[in-house]
Amino acid sequence: MKLIKEVAKLIGWLAGALTGITAIMYAFGYLIAQTQLHLLGIDALLPSGREYYLREGANFFIVTGQKLGLVVLGLIALVVIGCIPLSILTKSEKGARGLARMKERLLGTGQKHQWLWQAAILLLLVILLFFPLVHNLDLFRAPLGLSGLLYTAQDLTPPQSLSSDSSTVWKWVSTGDTKRLNSHYYSLLIHFLFAGFLMVAVQRVTSSWPLRSLIVFPFLLVFAIYLFLLPLNYAVLQKRIEFPVATLVSSFEKASTLSGQWLLLNKTEQEFILWDQVEKKALWIPKDKVVKVEIGRPQAVFKRELPKTKEVR
């Protein structure tokens, strides 16, 4: 009987955990989908379903988890490389004694002036909080300033309303420069990890202080802001922008000669939603008006224009 109760508790806990994970993936997927639709300028055209949001949320955690893993492995490798000289030094008797004396002095000084050391470390953490974290918050805001890319990507220059950082990201996205987009996303991940490190560090330093929650709150706030902005930046910097080319025959006069210039943005049970890359317009066609449709493979909407090479004779 006791075993059955324990199994029931475990099943209930698993069900609750699964519900929470699903809710988180749905929320992140919704943010990602809506951000990309806003980026393209068609956020009012393409409502998506629950399954789509869940899939996008799961993709975010997979891609971001892989990149975070690479960043953490790189940091671990640096720590290991830094520890090699210390391990070599401890192998010698003289070096081991020197390290022991240094450790004893540091511990003695730390215990004697513990409050001063904690205050100095806290001051350093506050400085690091404002620079580089708060100072570099524009790195997170720059990709979110883009919108209506389907209308403006073919222009030679970015819109004048964009900031300089947003204009740079606009050029990367509109030319499909995945290398620079990946580099920028890695930079955001490093800032996110650093914000988490500072939050944990200030909690350890002020563990015995009064008003500890008030001191930790700014660090927690910056970490929460970075966490909220991360999936939004993922939608701009990492999510591939591609739609299939559609060719269809319709009873609509305007849609009767649709060619490869049209992209299939969405297809529902009632309609097709297409995008004209030349005229930069969207077209709704009821499904019952479509006689024949051919849908090709998805292709990148924004491709990087490689420099032309001259033929050498």
Tens digit of each residue's pLDDT (9 = 90 or more) over 24-70: 888 888 889 888 888 988 865 665 677 778 888 888 999 999 999 99
Does the structure show a pLDDT above 50 at 196?
yes
Q: Is residue 130 part of a domain?
A: yes
Domain count, the chain: 2
- Specify whether 81 is located in the same domain as 204: yes
Does the structure show a pLDDT above 90 at 307?
no
Domain boundary among 220, 237, 254: 237
**Concatenated DSSP letters for 244-299?**
EEEEEEESSTTTTT--TTEEEEEE-SSEEEEEETTTTEEEEEEGGGEEEEEEEEEE
Question: Rounded CA gap, 6 and 91, in Å?
Answer: 52
Domain boundary among 212, 237, 262: 237
Q: Is residue 45 part of a domain?
A: yes
- Determine the 3-state secondary structure of 175 from DSSP: coil
Higher pLDDT, 84 or 252: 84
Question: Rounded CA gap, 130 and 5, in Å?
Answer: 51
Does the structure show a pLDDT above 90 at 135?
no
- Specify whether 246 is located in the same domain as 232: no
Q: Is residue 161 part of a domain?
A: yes
Q: Is residue 110 part of a domain?
A: yes
Does the structure show a pLDDT above 70 at 101?
no
Q: Is residue 4 part of a domain?
A: no
- For residue 171, with 0-12 CB atoms within 10 Å meaning exposed, 13-18 middle and 19 or more buried, which class applies? middle
Does the structure show a pLDDT above 90 at 115?
no
| Domain CATH for 256 | 2.30.30
Mean pLDDT of 68-78: 90
Question: Rounded CA gap, 311 and 313, in Å?
Answer: 6
Per-residue pLDDT, 312: 41
Mean pLDDT of 81-108: 67
Q: Is residue 310 part of a domain?
A: no
Per-residue pLDDT, 198: 95
Q: What is the residue range of 261's domain? A: 242-300
- Specify whether 69 is located in the same domain as 217: yes
Per-residue pLDDT, 258: 53
- Specify whether 145 is located in the same domain as 30: yes
Are 269 and 287 spatial neighbours (Cβ–Cβ below 8 Å)? yes
Q: Is residue 262 part of a domain?
A: yes
Distant-in-sequence, close-in-space partners of 248: CB < 8 Å, separation ≥ 6 = 255, 258, 272, 285, 290, 291, 292, 293, 294
Quick one: tokens of 146? Answer: 């883009």
- Specify whether 29 is located in the same domain as 134: yes
Cis peptide before 244 (omega within 30 of 0): no
Domain boundary among 237, 259, 282: 237
- Specify whether 167 is located in the same domain as 286: no
- Specify whether 56 is located in the same domain as 127: yes
Mean pLDDT of 220-240: 93
- Specify whether 86 is located in the same domain as 205: yes
Question: Rounded CA gap, 65 and 140, in Å?
Answer: 18
Q: Is residue 93 part of a domain?
A: yes
Nearest to 137 by CA among 204, 194, 202: 194
- Specify whether 163 is located in the same domain as 138: yes
- Specify whether 37 is located in the same domain as 148: yes
State pLDDT tens for residues 261-285: 688 888 877 888 888 877 788 888 8
- For residue 210, with 0-12 CB atoms within 10 Å meaning exposed, 13-18 middle and 19 or more buried, which class applies? exposed
- Specify whether 123 is located in the same domain as 252: no
Does the structure show a pLDDT above 80 at 291?
no
**Concatenated DSSP letters for 27-49?**
HHHHHHHHHHHHHHT-TTT----
What mean pLDDT, rounded, does the chain reach? Answer: 81
- Specify whether 294 is located in the same domain as 195: no
